[in-house]
Amino acid sequence: MTVERIENRFAALKAEGRGGLVTFVTAGDPDPRISLDLIKGLPKAGADVIEIGMPFSDPMADGPAIQASSLRAINAGMTLRKTIELVRAFRRGDTETPIIAMGYYNPIYSYGVDAFLKDAVEAGIDGLIIVDLPPEEDDELCVPAMDAGLAFIRLATPTTDDKRLPAVLNRSSGFVYYVAIAGITGTRSAQTEDIQAAVDRLRPNTDLPLAVGFGIRTPEQARIVADIADAAVVGSALVQAVADTAAEGGDAVKAGLDFVKSLADGIRER
């Protein structure tokens, strides 16, 4: 499946005439059991695409919420191998929802690129977003990943100027992830008109669907972004909702899925 699963999902969304909801959770956060239950529940709660964070000790593009989630997962014993197993377990019950593994390069480099790609494809991972691999380092993972049939989803940002845009969009597949602000995850939110302007700038340069993320925290924001682009990505706010409930001893899975449902309802409300 791999990249086709992503293409099929965006084609279905287009046919449905609505933008999609992409949700991010960190694998193994707050612990591997809750994490699996949460991820299994995401499609029914309304997530169209699932991004699974591969925990890393030094997530340099992430804000406090996702940094903390990564540390919780590592402290709970999560590894890249277990993250791949988590996807394999999810796939036993869902063969339709695209899974994107998102993270940083070092754990993959440490695992071994060839071994990782083989295991990732077998487990049912469809695409990769690797924050610290810009086009300048494409030979490392982008090229072999695309050869293996995985989508390599590139981040475009407000600092990506027109001169640089082709390099960023070239060798992108699956979709393009527009980072709405210059900054880290879970901090500021972009102005609607800035997102509109960015989408208008990107559209003529790519045929791929556009997902927009960073700073989207409410059903209202998700609806606005999903209307402008092809999908809205929500990460920190979801991770935080799960963490807060888990910390209070509540039902973290339910809290996470309720929040996702509210986002999905927001997106479907026209």
Partner 1 sequence: MNEILPNSYRTGPDEAGHFGIFGGRYVAETLMPLILEVEKAYNAARRDPAFEEELRYYQKHYVGRPSPMYFAKSLTAHFGGAKIYLKRDELNHTGSHKVNNCLGQALVAKRMGKTEIIAETGAGQHGVAVATVCALFGMSCKVFMGAEDVRRQKPNVERMKLLGAEVIPVTSGTGTLKDAMNEALRFWVAHPETHFYIIGTVAGPHPYPQMVRDFQSVIGIEAREQIQEAEGRLPDALVACIGGGSNAIGLFHPFLDDKDVKIFGVEAAGDGIETGKHAASITGGRPGVLHGNRTYLLQTDDGQIVDAHSISAGLDYPGIGPEHSWLAETGRVTYVSATDEEALDAFQLLTRTEGMIPALEPAHALSYVGKIAPEMGPDEIIIMNMCGRGDKDVASVIEHLKARGKFPKDDS
Report the candidate in 235, 155, 149 with the shortest Cα–Cα distance to residue 189. 235
Report the candidate in 263, 270, 269 with the shortest Cα–Cα distance to residue 48. 263
Options 7, 29, 48, 62, the catalytic residue: 62
32 binds partner 1 (CB under 8 A): no
Of the listed pieces 87-95, 118-126, 182-190, 202-210, which binds partner 1 according to CB under 8 A? 182-190
- Does the annotation mark 62 as catalytic? yes
Least distance (Å) between residue 218 CB and partner 1: 21
- Cα separation values, 264 from 176, 214, 270, Å: 21, 17, 12
191 binds partner 1 (CB under 8 A): no
**Cα separation, 168 vs 8, whole angstroms:** 23
Comparison of 12 and 182: residue with beta carbon closer to partner 1? 182
Q: Which two tokens stand for residue 13?
A: 């969304």
Inter-helix orientation angle 236-247/32-45, to 10°: 130
Of the listed pieces 9-17, 131-139, 201-209, 237-245, which binds partner 1 according to CB under 8 A? 131-139
Total interface residues for partner 1 by CB under 8 A: 47
**Cα separation, 227 vs 56, whole angstroms:** 32
Comparison of 57 and 95: residue with beta carbon closer to partner 1? 57
Among 12, 115, 182, 247, binds partner 1 (CB under 8 A): 182
Q: Please compute, for residue 117, the number of CA atoms within 13 A of its CA located in the half-sphere on the CB side.
A: 16
Contacts of 148 (CB under 8 A, 6+ apart): 2, 117, 118, 120, 121
Contacts of 67 (CB under 8 A, 6+ apart): 59
CB atoms within 10 A of CB 220: 12
- Does the annotation mark 51 as catalytic? yes
Among 159, 193, 249, 270, binds partner 1 (CB under 8 A): 159
**Cα separation, 15 vs 19, whole angstroms:** 10
207 binds partner 1 (CB under 8 A): no
- Cα separation values, 83 from 54, 119, 158, 183, 240, Å: 7, 11, 31, 27, 20
12 binds partner 1 (CB under 8 A): no
Options 7, 29, 48, 51, the catalytic residue: 51
Of the listed pieces 38-46, 62-70, 119-127, 238-246, which binds partner 1 according to CB under 8 A? 62-70
Least distance (Å) between residue 133 CB and partner 1: 7
165 binds partner 1 (CB under 8 A): no
Residues 231-270 that bind partner 1 (CB under 8 A): none
Comparison of 89 and 167: residue with beta carbon closer to partner 1? 167
137 binds partner 1 (CB under 8 A): yes
Active site residues: 51, 62
> What residues make contact with partner 1 under the rule CB under 8 A?
55-64, 67, 71, 74, 79-81, 104-111, 131-134, 136-137, 154-161, 164, 168, 179, 181-184, 187-188
